[in-house]
Amino acid sequence: MGSLATIAKPWWKDAVVYQVWPASFKDTNQDGVGDIRGVIESLDHIQSIGADTVWMCPIYASPRIDFGYDISDYEAIDPNFGTMADVDDLMQECHNRGMKFIMDLVINHTSDQHKWFQESRSSKTNPKRDWYIWRPAKYDEKGQRLPPNNWRSNFVGSAWTWDETTQEYYLHLFAPEQPDLNWDNLKMRKAVYDSAVRFWLEKGIDGFRIDTMTIYSKNPALPDAPITDPTSEWQSGRKWYGDQPKVFEILKEITAITSQYGEKMTVGEFGALKNLNVALDYVGASNRCVGMGFQFETVCVGYALNHWHIRNFSLQEFKQTFGKWQQFVEETDGWTCAFLENHDIARSVSRFGNDSPRYRATSAKMLAILLATSTGTLFLYQGQEIGMTNVPATWPIEEYLDISSQNYWKSVKTATDDKAVLDGALANIRKVARDHARTPMQWSDKPHGGFTTCGKGPWMRTNDNYVDISVEKQAHDPDSVLSFWKQMLALRKQYSDIFVHGTWRTMDVENPATMTFVKQAEGEKALVVLNFTDQPQPVKIPEDFRGSKPLITNLNQWYPETLSAYEGRVYVA
* Residue number, 212 or 321, with CB nearest to ligand BGC: 212
Question: How many Cα atoms are found within 13 Å in the side-chain-facing hemisphere of 474?
Answer: 27
Contact call for residues 109 and 181 (beta carbons, < 8 A): yes
Active site residues: 211, 269
* Residue number, 26 or 109, with CB nearest to ligand BGC: 109
Tell me, by CB under 6 A, how many residues bind ligand BGC: 9
CB of 31 to ligand BGC, least distance (A): 22
CB of 556 to ligand BGC, least distance (A): 39
Residue 196 DSSP one-character state: I
One of 106, 196, 368, 441 touching ligand BGC (CB under 6 A): 106
Binding of ligand BGC at residue 341 (CB under 6 A)?
no
Give the C-alpha separation, 135 to 160, whole Å. Answer: 9
* Residue number, 69 or 282, with CB nearest to ligand BGC: 69
CB of 178 to ligand BGC, least distance (A): 7
* Residue number, 35 or 269, with CB nearest to ligand BGC: 269
Q: Give 478-525 as a 3 state SS string.
A: CCCHHHHHHHHHHHHHHCHHHHCCCEEEECCCCCCCEEEEEEEECCEE
Binding of ligand BGC at residue 112 (CB under 6 A)?
no
CB of 246 to ligand BGC, least distance (A): 19
Binding of ligand BGC at residue 296 (CB under 6 A)?
no
Mask for 468-507, x = binds ligand BGC (CB under 6 A): ----------------------------------------
One of 243, 297, 341, 344 touching ligand BGC (CB under 6 A): 344
Q: How far is CA 294 from CA 137, 212, 355, in A?
A: 36, 10, 25
* Residue number, 45 or 109, with CB nearest to ligand BGC: 109
Give the C-alpha separation, 454 to 458, whole Å. Answer: 7
Task: Find the binding residues for ligand BGC in span 120-139 (CB under 6 A).
Answer: none
Binding of ligand BGC at residue 270 (CB under 6 A)?
no
- The CA-based angle 466-468-472, given to 5 degrees, is 75
Binding of ligand BGC at residue 78 (CB under 6 A)?
no
One of 35, 66, 206, 435 touching ligand BGC (CB under 6 A): 66
Give the C-alpha separation, 14 to 495, whole Å. Answer: 11
Give the C-alpha separation, 172 to 147, whole Å. Answer: 12
Binding of ligand BGC at residue 86 (CB under 6 A)?
no
Q: Which helix (H) or strand (E) holds 476?
A: none
Contact call for residues 250 and 299 (beta carbons, < 8 A): no
One of 35, 112, 269, 435 touching ligand BGC (CB under 6 A): 269
* Residue number, 305 or 507, with CB nearest to ligand BGC: 305
Binding of ligand BGC at residue 530 (CB under 6 A)?
no
Give the C-alpha separation, 253 to 67, whole Å. Answer: 28
Considering only CA atoms, give the Rg of the chain: 24
Binding of ligand BGC at residue 69 (CB under 6 A)?
yes
Contact call for residues 18 and 380 (beta carbons, < 8 A): yes
Provide, for the chain, the percentages of residues in helix, strand and coil under a 3-state DSSP scheme, each rounded to the nearest 5.
35, 15, 50
Binding of ligand BGC at residue 297 (CB under 6 A)?
no
Binding of ligand BGC at residue 435 (CB under 6 A)?
no
CB of 45 to ligand BGC, least distance (A): 24
* Residue number, 66 or 341, with CB nearest to ligand BGC: 66
* Residue number, 55 or 318, with CB nearest to ligand BGC: 55
* Residue number, 90 or 215, with CB nearest to ligand BGC: 215
CB of 175 to ligand BGC, least distance (A): 8
Binding of ligand BGC at residue 55 (CB under 6 A)?
no
**Which DSSP string do the residues of 359-413 spell out, in sequence order?**
THHHHHHHHHHHHHTSSSEEEEETTGGGT--PPPTTS-GGG---HHHHHHHHHHH
Nearest to 74 by CA among 173, 153, 181: 181
Task: Find the binding residues for ligand BGC in span 200-229 (CB under 6 A).
Answer: 211-212
Residue with smallest beta-carbon separation from ligand BGC? 69
Nearest to 61 by CA among 115, 7, 17: 115
Binding of ligand BGC at residue 174 (CB under 6 A)?
yes
Binding of ligand BGC at residue 35 (CB under 6 A)?
no
Say how far residue 206 (Cα) sits from the centre of its chain: 19
CB of 514 to ligand BGC, least distance (A): 32
Contact call for residues 482 and 386 (beta carbons, < 8 A): yes
Mask for 227-266, x = binds ligand BGC (CB under 6 A): ----------------------------------------
CB of 248 to ligand BGC, least distance (A): 19
Which backbone phi and psi does 269 adopt, to 5 degrees?
Answer: -85, 125
68: left (phi over 0), alpha (psi -120 to 50) or beta: left
CB of 434 to ligand BGC, least distance (A): 7
Interaction site with ligand BGC (CB under 6 A): 66, 69, 106, 174, 211-212, 269, 343-344
